[in-house]
A and B are shown apart, each in its own frame.
Chain A
Amino acid sequence: MTEAIDQASTADNGLMIEMADVHKWYGDFHVLRNINLEVQKGERIVICGPSGSGKSTMIRCINRLEEHQRGRISISGVELTGDLKNIERIRREVGMVFQHFNLFPHLTVLENLALAPIWVRKTPRAEAEEIAMNYLERVKIPEQAGKYPGQLSGGQQQRVAIARSLCMNPQIMLFDEPTSALDPEMIKEVLDVMVELAQDGMTMLCVTHEMGFAKTVANRVIFMDEGQIIEENEPEEFFTRPQHDRTKLFLSQILEH
């Protein structure tokens, strides 16, 4: 798969994610409508929009935690179909960070990090633990390696979760509101890690309402409402001259406080 991704990415000139006319329904409820999105290698995209607009659903379609019913999603030129092997191969290359961290509570921090490299990538344990320690140092909590997730603060847990994804050496990172379950004083420590990751050239899709982060890091900001992409622009333009009334309303609401 790694070769497939490399070949594909050179062939497609670095096109990492391609969503074309993607639709999804929950029963009768049309959650995603005609989503078209292309993400180039190294691009950083921030997705925002009101609650229930389908932001989570959209990024969860990218690693098949949700299945789309119409349209086409390709990751590095490999199309997401029902083929389980294919899905697992794509998941290895796409890291995901959740709002509620979802660390494995029965494993220590180090075991959380080393688990997927050992069992999915077949990395020898010693090597996997070394990689894990490296990433723990990058998120600045190497001293917590032996603790259990339940013994860490929210901000520390989220940094562990980011490190856990990075240990798989993914090509793309998805973030679903990574800071919205955190107390204000912990938000910064997580955002700092994400900014560093962006500076290292990681391809990132990030659902967040942290507008400061969007302004400094994003190449593009996407605004979603009722399952559709309403507006898409560079952050500067997006925040200073929003085009649509709904975007204006949304921005005025979140910038109010």
Chain B
Amino acid sequence: MTDLKNPSLAPPVTTVGIMGWMRQNLFSTPLNSGLTVLAVAFIYLLLVPFFQWAVWNADWTGSDQSACTSGGACWVFINARMELFIYGFFPTSEYWRVDLVFALLAVLIVPQFFERFPHKGWIGFFTLTGFPVLVYFLLVGGSFGLEPVESGKWGGLMLTLVLAFVGIVAALPIGILLALGRRSEMPVIRTICVCFIELWRGVPLISVLFMASVMLPLFLPDGVNFDKLLRALIGIVLFQSAYMAEVIRGGLQAIPKGQYEAARALGLGYWKSMSLIILPQALKLVIPGIVNTFIALFKDTTLVLIIGLLDILASVQSAIVDPAWGSVSTEGYLFAAFSFWIFCFSMSRYSQALERKLETGYQR
């Protein structure tokens, strides 16, 4: 080490530090420099007025339109109508039931974000199985001395979350079964699954919802009439499970044949090979696709507004036309967009964390 011919030198200043970074990334060529200047100007012209409107000049406190005088955003409106946006038309005296559901959901989901949490697996299992049942009794009511609340009164964020959660929890297992069925060696099962998937993928969700709310009752015998929300839910679940099935099939196809053979050679039957060997690997591979479908599902729940269910976006829409509030549509839509973004972005981050955690450093 003493007579090293080329001792290690400090790197030239032009490649390190903030100056080096800027020179490399922002001003490497005249064209690049020009684009940088343009982009900065554009951001300045766009963002500064936005922040002035949304933050510095905004009105935050008050109870009605008279509080909105400064010419900026009227967040008072969001504050004042928050109950509608969260609970829809749920009876005020029963808000605690919705709050309890939100609180439970938060408590159940938080452990999933930690590396090690005692009984994490069981908590997750309960979130997907026991929790929906609990939510059903809490929100629907009519038993355990709870006042029944018909689903027509559900709305806002609560309705959005119910639709998205049920959709996600049900579409994944159905999608897995459909994907397995489509790859089955039994022609009957394969044909049924292919037909099912292609049928649901071939129609727009809007028409599925219309059919669920308008046409289905025509086909049902008299007296059989089930809830509009339930019908919409079934439509969403079946629709999304067809997409889910195709995402998962992509993962199944990527698993090398040797894995199936090794599992069979050990004497594992079909269901055990699938659940212990193939699916854990296939699902891991397609986490981005699965989450993509979840996010699409989450946002597609807004379509229920066309059959008269008021999700968060629809309740915002119904509030902004209120003449008592002047023009607050920008504030309303921003709020709705931000609410969706929070949930979708969280899902995206969670999936990235999950991918990193499941990485076992194998090559294939």
List residues of chain A with CB under 8 Å of any chain B CB.
63, 65, 84, 88-89, 91-92, 94-96, 98, 100, 102-106, 115-116, 119-120, 148-151, 164-165, 168
Question: Given A65, A120, A148, which contacts B361 in the complex, CB threshold below 8 Å?
Answer: A148
Question: Given B262, B265, B280, B363, which contacts A106 in the complex, CB threshold below 8 Å?
Answer: B280
Beta-carbon contacts under 8 Å, B327-364 to A: 358, 360-364
Give 9 A-B pairs besides A116-B267, A148-B360 with Cβ atoms closer than 8 angstroms.
A65-B261, A102-B258, A104-B277, A106-B358, A119-B272, A150-B362, A151-B361, A165-B265, A165-B266
Contact B261 A102 (CB under 8 A): yes
Contact A116 B361 (CB under 8 A): no
Query: Which residue of A has the minimal Cβ distance to B270?
Result: A84
A115-B276, A119-B276 as given contacts; A105 in contact with B268, CB under 8 Å? no
For B261, what are the chain A residues with a Cβ–Cβ distance below 8 Å? 65, 98, 102
For B153, what are the chain A residues with a Cβ–Cβ distance below 8 Å? none
Does B17 have its Cβ within 8 Å of any Cβ on chain A? no
Contact B360 A98 (CB under 8 A): no
Query: Which residue of A has the minimal Cβ distance to B262?
Result: A102
Contact B259 A102 (CB under 8 A): yes
Beta-carbon contacts under 8 Å, B207-259 to A: 256, 258-259
- Cα-based distance from A113 to B264 in the complex (angstroms): 15
- Cα-based distance from A103 to B364 in the complex (angstroms): 11
- Cα-based distance from A88 to B280 in the complex (angstroms): 22
Minimum distance in angstroms from B160 CB to a CB of chain A? 34
Contact A88 B265 (CB under 8 A): no
Query: Which residue of A has the minimal Cβ distance to B363?
Result: A150
Q: Tell me the interface secondary structure of chain B in the complex.
A: helix
For A168, what are the chain B residues with a Cβ–Cβ distance below 8 Å? 266-267
Contact A148 B362 (CB under 8 A): yes
- Cα-based distance from A223 to B258 in the complex (angstroms): 26
For B201, what are the chain A residues with a Cβ–Cβ distance below 8 Å? none
Does B151 have its Cβ within 8 Å of any Cβ on chain A? no
For A88, what are the chain B residues with a Cβ–Cβ distance below 8 Å? 267, 269
Minimum distance in angstroms from A228 CB to a CB of chain B? 25
* Mask of B41-84 contacts with A, CB within 8 angstroms, 1/0: 00000000000000000000000000000000000000000000
Contact B269 A106 (CB under 8 A): no
For B284, what are the chain A residues with a Cβ–Cβ distance below 8 Å? 106
Contact B266 A164 (CB under 8 A): yes
Contact A92 B267 (CB under 8 A): yes
- Cα-based distance from A100 to B256 in the complex (angstroms): 11
5 inter-chain pairs at a CB distance below 8 angstroms, sorted by A residue, are A65-B261, A106-B280, A106-B281, A148-B362, A149-B362
Contact B265 A65 (CB under 8 A): yes
Which of B262, B267, B268, B362 has its CB near the most chain A CB atoms (within 10 A)? Answer: B267
Question: Given B258, B267, B269, B272, which contacts A98 in the complex, CB threshold below 8 Å?
Answer: B258
Query: Which residue of B has the minimal Cβ distance to A65?
Result: B261
Contact B266 A115 (CB under 8 A): yes
For A119, what are the chain B residues with a Cβ–Cβ distance below 8 Å? 268, 272, 276
Question: Given A65, A151, A164, which contacts B264 in the complex, CB threshold below 8 Å?
Answer: A65
